[in-house]
Each structure stands twice: as C-alpha cells, then as structure tokens.
A and B are shown apart, each in its own frame.
Chain A
Amino acid sequence: MHRSVWMAVGTAVLMMSVSYGCASNDVPSSSTPDSSATPDTSEVSEAPETGEGTLQVRANGEDFVREGFVSKDGWEIGFEHVYVSLANVKAYQTEGAFDPETDATLEPKQDVLVVDQQTVDLAEGEADADPILLAEVSAPAGRYNALEWTMPKATDGPAAGHVLMLVGTAEKDGQVVNFTLRLDQEMRYVCGDFVGDERKGILESGGTADLEATFHFDHIFGDAEADPEDSINTGALGFEPLAAIAQGDTLDVDMAMLEEQLSPDDYARLQDTIAGLGHVGEGHCALEDLT
C-alpha cells in the first residue's frame, strides 16, 4: 500500500484514540456523581472505577483496649483479651451519601463480603500496633462509604458461645478486680463513611484501601479524662457497679448473671452501652438488636 495511505490510516487511528479518550471522560468514575463535569479533572476522575484493588477491613478497639484507661469512677482498667465475634462484614459503595442515623435506606451499587465469620482479639499486639486486620479481598475500585457487620455468638475459640468477652484487671485504691465479662448481646451495625484523621475506603484500581470497624469501650466504662458531664460519662455504666458484685478479687460473669446481680437501671445502661460500641472511626452506625 502506498505510503500516503499508511499515513492517512495512521492519522485516523490517532484520531480514534483521541476521540475515545475524550469520550471516557463522560462517564462519572467516582461516587461524586458530578465530578466528570469538573473542568480539568478528567485524569483524576478517570483512573478509579476501572479494574480492581485490595480492600482491607480492620477492627480497632482504640487506645482504650491496647493501652488501658481510667473509668469515669476512677478504676484503672487494663485488658488482656477483648474477643469480639464478627460476621457478615460487608463493604458497600452506595448511590450518593448514606447517613445511618436517618431513615435513609442503604442503596448499594456495589457490595463486597470481606469476612464471613471471625473472632478477633482487639487487645492483641503491642500498644502501638496497627488495628487488627480482619481480612483483605480483591474488590472493584470505587468509593466504599458504608460498612456493615453483625456480632453473633462465637461458634468456637476462647469466646465460644459469646458475642464479646472482656478479660482484664481493674484497680482502684489498692483494690484489684480480675474480671471476665461474657456478653451475649447479638447486634447488627450498619455504618456510613469513616470519620477520623484520614479518609478511608477510597479504592483505586491497583491500589489498597481499608475500612475500620471501631469499638468504643469508653461508652461502657466512661473516661476519667472527659468532663464528668460529658455524655460519654453520663451515659456510661462505669466499673463501680461491676466491682460491687465481684466475689473477692474476681468477677466472672455472663449476661444472665449480670441481669440477676446488677440493678435494673445498671443492667439497662450496660445493654445500651454495649449496643453503642460499634462505630466507623468517630462516625456512628445504625444498629439492630438481634437477641
């Protein structure tokens, strides 16, 4: 074929490539639907949503679990183990924003099952260790802005038969209580976007992103560092009611025993605070009591 024909065909192919590249900008490629209309952002919005990346989900008991803390009523609490049973851990990309504290319905356009069933010890590792990695899976790129998990009774392991098992020591004014709390309140949490020092769940093709199931144990025991009138303390049970039912220096109880031995108000408060454990960073979750 003549050289000029080759040149013409080559130019045409080049034009096709340019045309295709421009056309791909028309497709919104992130969960911010109007980003494609943003001037000069074609490269930013074009990269995600094609291909897959690695999506991790972590469980975090925060410094309260790893380093210990002082309860609202002055008990210095340290944990040896904090077993949490987790199941059906799913990450979602939703249509628009999802606010779990409204009546809004979760409308996923993408969901990824990350963990089927697993019991994790939130106290595992050094004080400065990263949050526990539950699992990582290959997942379509995009913006994972919602996370769901349930907390059923563990089927095996040290916490078998329980949802939560807290093992540790509380000390105040020379009195020591070695406690084992076996809690059986089965819950389901549906949470929105992670709220914290960094954004999470933004997965680009070939990249890695993580989400976090965060557990706020200061909700149960309160926090001496917070104002006594802060809701974190006014709503917390504290440790004093638990110390009061200890047998000598030992407190080894399950929910049935707690219901029997605590006052009705304290037991109701304990139930409320257990239900409020689940967060995504500082972001809150809708919850369903499955018990």
Chain B
Amino acid sequence: MQLNPPRWLVLPLVALSSGAIALPALSHGTAVEYEVGTAVAVSALYDTGEPMAQAQVAVFTPDDPTTPWLTGTTDLDGTFLFMPDPAIPGNWEVQVRQAGHGEILVIPMAAPTATSEAPAEMGGEESAEVPVDGAEVAEAIAMAAPSSSPQRSSAALSPVQRWTMIGAIIWGFVGTAFFFSPRKPVSDPAGEA
C-alpha cells in the first residue's frame, strides 16, 4: 500500500531506523485507518539541494519490471513514501522523473523471516545517493528493511540429491509393479515332453 504523506510526516519517518510504522490516515472524515509494515522513503533532490517536487514516481516489483506496481508524485520536499509488498522480495525499482531528468533507483528488499515479522526484529536504515544529472542528485532511504538474507526455497536441492530422489522413485514404481504383476505359470519342458 502506498502512502504519500505531507511534509510534516516524512521527516519523522525517515528518522526511524527500525520498527513498524503506523501511519494515520490522511482524511477529513471520521474513518481512521493505519498500516503497519515496512516502508521505503525516497527523497529526490537536485544536487543544488532543490527538491524534485511533484516529480513523477513509478514503483516496479522485482517480478514485473515493466508494469508499475504503484505510481504517484513526490511531495514538495521531493519525498515519496510507499510500503512494498513483503511477499515480493528482491530488487524493487523506483523511477523518478521530472522535466526531462530521471533516475531509476534499485532498492533491495529481503524476504521476511519468521522473526522479522515482529517490529523489533526488523533491520536498520539503508541509504543511497542517486545522481539524477551531472548537476542533480536524488537520495533514497529504505527504512525498516529486514536485514536478514532472503529466504531460500525449501525445495532447493542439489542435482545429485534431485536425481537420487528421482532414481528412488523410479525404482519404487518398477519394483512395486513387478511385485503385483501376475506371474505366468512356469513352463516345465520336462512335463510337456
């Protein structure tokens, strides 16, 4: 879920280095909602220090780099905040464009672990400077990204293990088939004679 909060909300969030983030809904009505999870704050600046205010932002997931998972604009400080789907680990890409200048920022997001689901277990703050032009720089800060390595699939087997397993399966089927197959009467050449 994407949240693109106003200026006052960004800086406190950027300052957080760990823990879940509860964001109040930006609503004039009575409905108040919040989200708890990992947030990424992207801060896009020209190298003059001027923010890339109202710049176009497109977020791409690791498994679909062609279709934006999320689009929006930076706020007046050049900040854009979103919550990546923790079920999609890998390199998330954030494209920021304004007035013919742009940059794609790659943000590695680790797979959630059993322990990282608890806020206290989430990893620390990451930051990266991203030049947007010879005279421009965007900065991204990924917050509360789990610091553990991506989860490995339990199905990952070495080739030896895999083919050993396949061989055992084949042998099991063949053996079972022979066991249950009806036996032909043993011919007795002597009896036939």
Contacts and interface: CB of A to CB of B under 8 A. Distances in A.
A4 B177 contact: yes
B63 A99 contact: no
Interface stretch (B9-17, B37-45, B92-100): B92-100
Contact of A22 (B110, B132, B155, B170): B155
A195 B97 contact: yes
Interface in B100-119: 100-104, 106, 108, 110-111
Contacts of B178: 5
B65 A283 contact: no
A101 interface: yes
Nearest to A194: B104
Contact of A192 (B48, B104, B174): B104
A216 B133 CA distance: 13
A160 B111 CA distance: 55
Contacts of B101: 282, 284
Interface residues of B, number: 53
Contacts of A283: 102-104
B45 to A, nearest CB: 13
A41 B63 contact: yes
Interface string A97-108: 101011000000
B150 interface: yes
Contacts of A195: 95, 97, 102-104
A38 to B, nearest CB: 5
A235 B133 CA distance: 12
Nearest to A102: B131
A109 B153 CA distance: 24
A281 B99 CA distance: 12
Given A96-B106, A282-B101, A19 B166 contact: yes
Contacts of A88: none
Given A19-B162, A193-B104, A37 B90 contact: yes
A133 B108 CA distance: 34
Interface stretch (A163-171, A226-234, A236-244, A251-259): A226-234
B167 to A, nearest CB: 10
A11 interface: yes
A15 B169 contact: yes
Interface size class of A (residues with CB under 8 A): 35 or more
B177 A284 contact: no
B28 interface: no
A290 interface: no
Given A5-B177, A196-B102, A38 B169 contact: no
B72 to A, nearest CB: 16
B133 A38 contact: no
A25 B65 CA distance: 19
24 contacts: A5-B174, A7-B177, A9-B170, A9-B177, A15-B166, A15-B169, A16-B166, A23-B155, A25-B153, A26-B156, A30-B62, A32-B62, A32-B63, A32-B91, A34-B62, A34-B89, A35-B63, A37-B150, A44-B64, A218-B100, A231-B48, A231-B133, A232-B99, A282-B100
Interface of B: 46, 48, 60, 62-66, 87-91, 95, 97, 99-104, 106, 108, 110-111, 129-136, 150-153, 155-157, 162, 165-166, 169-170, 173-174, 176-178, 180-182
